[in-house]
Amino acid sequence: MTDTTMNPTGSSARANAEVFFPDPLPGQDRFVAPLDETPLHEVDSIDEEAPATSMWADAWKTLRKNPIFIVSAVLVIFVLLVAFFPSLFTKQDPVACNLENSLEGGSGGHPFGYDLQGCDVYSRVVYGARTSVSIGIATTILVTVLGGLIGAIAGFCGGWIDAILSRLTDIFFAIPMLLGAIVLLQMFRTSTSIWKIVFTLTLFGWVNMARITRSAVMEAKNLEFNTASTSLGSSPMRNLFRHIIPNSLAPVIVMATMSLGSYIVSEATLSFLGIGLPSSVVSWGGDISTAQNLLRTNPSVLFYPSAALAITVLAFIMMGDAVKDALDPKTRTA
């Protein structure tokens, strides 16, 4: 039964409740507590003096507590140090080979031993990181710029511009990146260089970035800040580069981080097939290709560059997953 001994405030609350709720059935009586009897608890209160935080600040706060991000960040930093400062980790010349040391085991100053040509495996693994990681980073930057620009223009302009750029994207999307790179590099095998590999991978790798950027820009351009900027006299191009693109970077950063590992693998695959970098350039893919015939007799020569490649790619993929979880509002908690 309902309580009939209520104060005036409670009687008013009950009267208002009866307007919105019909008379209950027997056993379904309700009681609407007055406002002064249900105060706002401290746990539900909001600190109005706390400084406002951005999405990037919240993401960084989440990343600092994520063990996967910490482990992957340590691995990535270590790989970058090895790639850009190889002389800090070895004093051996990776191309100084002596057939007298062919397939010798590890020794002082040569922990990984020697390959078939008598080259120090450890120094080649260290210097091979420079080639593979440099190609991956350069390709990622070009893919992000090219694909991001095409996708941003298509998503922002719409209409016939979007239709043309979307059909162009579909054409390149139908060509597998690795297959297209093999065909294109076979046509220009006379002079293969690092930049030729980078441009080839960029030519067939910008499609996914364009599709991701287009979707993000189409979502961001309909938000209130774009309308407010336009009402203040901002031009469409200013809105695109000053407001919309910066607010669409979250999925782009995630895509770039996760794609970097795939470009390193693509370079190693091309070098393994013999159509990538020439044998004079030290790379993980080339060393794996050279050592594949020694898998049964001396597997360590193949193991070390393969392990370095696998650890590097795994580190970038783990970092991409951690960044994706941190930048996704659905997975972040207060």
pTM of the model: 0.78
pLDDT tier at 31, thresholds 50, 70, 90: low
CA distance 142 to 231: 34
Q: What 3-state DSSP class applies to 282?
A: coil
pLDDT tier at 29, thresholds 50, 70, 90: low
* Torsions phi, psi for 107 (to 5 deg): -150, 180
pLDDT tier at 10, thresholds 50, 70, 90: very low
C-beta of residue 101 within 8 angstroms of C-beta of residue 114: yes
Nearest to residue 161, comparing CAs of 170, 171, 148, 151?
151
11-20, 241-250, 297-306, 312-321: the lowest-pLDDT one: 11-20
pLDDT score of 309: 92
- Give the burial class of 99: count Cβ atoms within 10 A of its Cβ; 0-12 exposed, 13-18 middle, 19 or more buried: exposed
List the CATH code of the domain at 59-327: 1.10.3720.10
Encoded tokens for 94: 């990776």
pLDDT score of 28: 58
CA distance 259 to 62: 22
CA distance 329 to 296: 50
pLDDT score of 148: 92
C-beta of residue 198 within 8 angstroms of C-beta of residue 264: no
* SS3 readout for 157-192: HCHHHHHHHHHHHHHHHCCCHHHHHHHHHHHCCCCC
pLDDT tens-digit map of 50-81: 666 677 777 888 888 889 999 999 999 999 99
Q: Is the pLDDT of residue 96 over 90?
A: no
Domain boundaries, the chain: 8-44, 59-327
CA distance 317 to 78: 15
Separation in Å, CA 249 to CA 52, 150, 237, 242, 306: 20, 14, 17, 12, 33
pLDDT tens-digit map of 172-198: 988 888 888 888 888 877 666 788 899
